[in-house]
Every structure is written in C-alpha cells, then in structure tokens.
Amino acid sequence: MQYSRIMGIDYGDKRIGIALTDLMHVIASPFEVYKTVNSNADIEHLQKIIEEQEVETLVIGLPLNMDGSEGERARKTRLFGSNIADKSNVNIVFQDERLTSFEADNILSDAKVRTDKRKDLIDKLSACLILESYLNERSKNEKRGK
C-alpha cells in the first residue's frame, strides 16, 4: 500500500493557508501560510510542497455565496485550481468553504489568541477546516457505499 497525503488550501490574493493530512488521511493539521508573490511563484511553491509531502489530492476551498452561487472570487479560485492541475500530477477537488474564516476566528478567539496574531493563523486554520470538511464528507460517502 502506498501512502500519500491530502493538502487543503484556503486561497486568497495575499495569503494561501495550507493544511495537510497524515499519511493515512485521518488527521488534518495546519501546515503553513504562504504569502503570495505571483501566480507562477505561488504554484511553484505549492508544487514543492506537493512533491516533498507526497500529496495526491489537493482540496481547494471554494468561496461560494451564501445562496450557493459562484461569484468572482469562486471564478478566481477555480482558475487557480486549473493552473495547478496543468502543472502538477494531483487530483483537484473543490470544497465549499463558506464560513470557515469566521469559524477559524471564533476558535482562535475562544483560545484567547491575540488579535494581532490571528491573521496568519486564521488562514492556516481555515485550510485545516476545509480539509476536515472534505475528509468528513468522504468518510460519510464511504460508509454509505458511494
């Protein structure tokens, strides 16, 4: 059996939050926050992590509107995912990310993390929540036999 990881991405114009699973796809953990440079540099950085961490699937948070429709931000996110797919040999999955940043901020607030420390932590934690959501859905579908 070959082991690999799944990577979660919270994609933004200024920062990209990154989370990774363990090799058995059971636990999602925050990994890092990457400050964006440009499309090529950003994808190159992610490719390096994909190779080093043996990532097979990339779960990218899709910022849907509250009514479930897709706006400009979702279009940019899909384009980003398409660009990674063109340059990497990973499966790309988009996962609804509505309210993950809000949830991450609440978690950090409850943990009494100072406001000035939250900005980077929110992106990492949001990526982790996106990844956990994907893992939970996948687990439910496997139990149903899908």
Cβ neighbour number for residue 28 with a 10 Å cutoff: 25
Mean pLDDT to the nearest integer, 2-22? 93
Band of pLDDT at residue 139, cut at 50, 70 and 90: confident
Beta bridge partners of 10: 17
pLDDT, greater one: 18 or 3: 18
* Residue 94 Cα to chain centre, angstroms: 9
Q: What is the CATH number of the domain that holds 137?
A: 3.30.420.140
User: What is the tally of structural domains in the chain?
Assistant: 1
Query: Residue 92: its pLDDT value, please?
Result: 97
Q: What is the pLDDT of residues 85-113, one digit of tens each?
A: 998 889 999 998 876 766 776 777 777 77
Domain that holds residue 107: 5-143
Asked if residue 100 lies in contact with residue 61, where contact means CB atoms within 8 angstroms, the answer is: yes
Q: Name the more confident of 7 and 107.
A: 7
Question: Is residue 131 a contact partner of residue 6, using CB atoms and an 8 Å limit?
Answer: yes
